[in-house]
Amino acid sequence: MNDDQALVAKFGTILPQLNERQRRLVLAAEARALGRGGVTRVARAAGVTRPTIHAALQELDQPAPPSGRVRQVGGGRKARCVHDPTLLAELEALIDPLTRGDPMSPLRWTCKSTRQLATALVGRGHQVSHQLVARLLHDLEYTLQAPRKTREGSAHPDRDAQFGYLNEQVSSALAVGLPVVSVDCKKKELVGAYKNGGQEWQPQGQPEHVNVHDFVDKRVGKAIPDGVYDVGRNAGWVNVGQDHDTAQFAVESLRRWWRMVGQTAYPQADRLLICADGGGTGGSGAGALAAGVWVLRPGVAGGSARSGGRAGAASGHRVASGAC
């Protein structure tokens, strides 16, 4: 093995273990040690150019760069934003067009993925990739976030007074031992082997098998839970139907609660205060609910059921008169 072959073997072993600056310094030191002709021999053995070796020889005589740096300050290719000063501004305009750009931007109504953003920027004359867009977004302190429900809508001008009145009615009824219930129909659920959110512990590789499609099984229908919450006793009761969520169903749930729980818990009660939200089949505006509550026990005067709801719906609205 001649000297040049020995250099090739030496560099093939050591250079892959070094960073860019360390490789340059090793090659420069080897060329200096070889003396005349060393630059040419090292360049040929390492597969680099002679100007690279000459630059490395000068670097050997310079102070070491700050800790952690491979290149001198200012070295390397300039960032895209340096060559394209408007890139960041246009990217932010696409991300948040209502405050920084066109409110009718197509991306306002689509998924703002990095690939779509890159395509839009290329269409505006910028040379970018989706990887660069992702790095720029991180530099701008953007993160992937899910929407958060915070907007409740406009409030009724008498909202506070309405809820104050409802609270007064509930407190007065509880003070004299009358039953106060809150009624509401909850989320409908499919009955059967259907996929549901969440996870459970199972043997590895043996998940529970469910139906591919979430079509309703007409033989069993859906589970429709209608809840009755007893405010005074802090106790809940649920009636589950499988047909339709109607006002008649809400009334029947209330009737069953009274027969199974209410009349035993409140044997002396001659009135029942019902709190319902302002919408849906159990809401204050459901005429069928009002009629149904009236016939829970017809012919008994003096009782009343009032409905209050979210956003100040129907404060003190009279739904029915009668007792359970």
Q: Which residues pair with 185 in a beta bridge?
A: 226
Enumerate the domain spans of the chain: 3-60, 80-139, 159-320
Give the count of alpha carbons within 13 A of 234, CB side only: 0
Is residue 284 over pLDDT 70? no
Pairwise CA distance, residues 283 & 276, whole Å: 5
* Mean pLDDT estimate for the chain: 75
**Amino acid at position 182, single letter:** S
Is residue 311 over pLDDT 50? no
For 177-198, what is the mean pLDDT? 83
For residue range 32-49, list pLDDT tens digits in order.
888 888 899 888 888 889
Is residue 303 over pLDDT 50? no
Is residue 279 over pLDDT 70? no
Is residue 239 within 8 Å of 225, Cβ to Cβ? yes
Which element (helix H / strand E) includes 119?
helix 114-123
Nearest-Å Rg of the Cα atoms of the chain is 38
Q: For residue 197, what pLDDT band results from cuts at 50, 70 and 90?
A: confident
Is residue 127 within 8 Å of 172, Cβ to Cβ? no
What architecture is the 159-320 domain classified under in CATH? 2-Layer Sandwich (3.30)
Is residue 244 over pLDDT 50? yes
Is residue 318 over pLDDT 50? no
Pairwise CA distance, residues 91 & 117, whole Å: 8
Q: What's the whole-model pTM score?
A: 0.45
pLDDT of the residue at 323: 32
Pairwise CA distance, residues 128 & 213, whole Å: 41
Other beta carbons less than 10 A from residue 80's beta carbon = 16
For residue range 72-95, list pLDDT tens digits in order.
665 566 777 777 888 888 888 887
Q: For residue 230, what pLDDT band results from cuts at 50, 70 and 90?
A: very high
For residue range 129-175, list pLDDT tens digits in order.
999 988 888 887 777 777 777 676 666 677 778 878 888 888 899 99
pLDDT of the residue at 82: 77
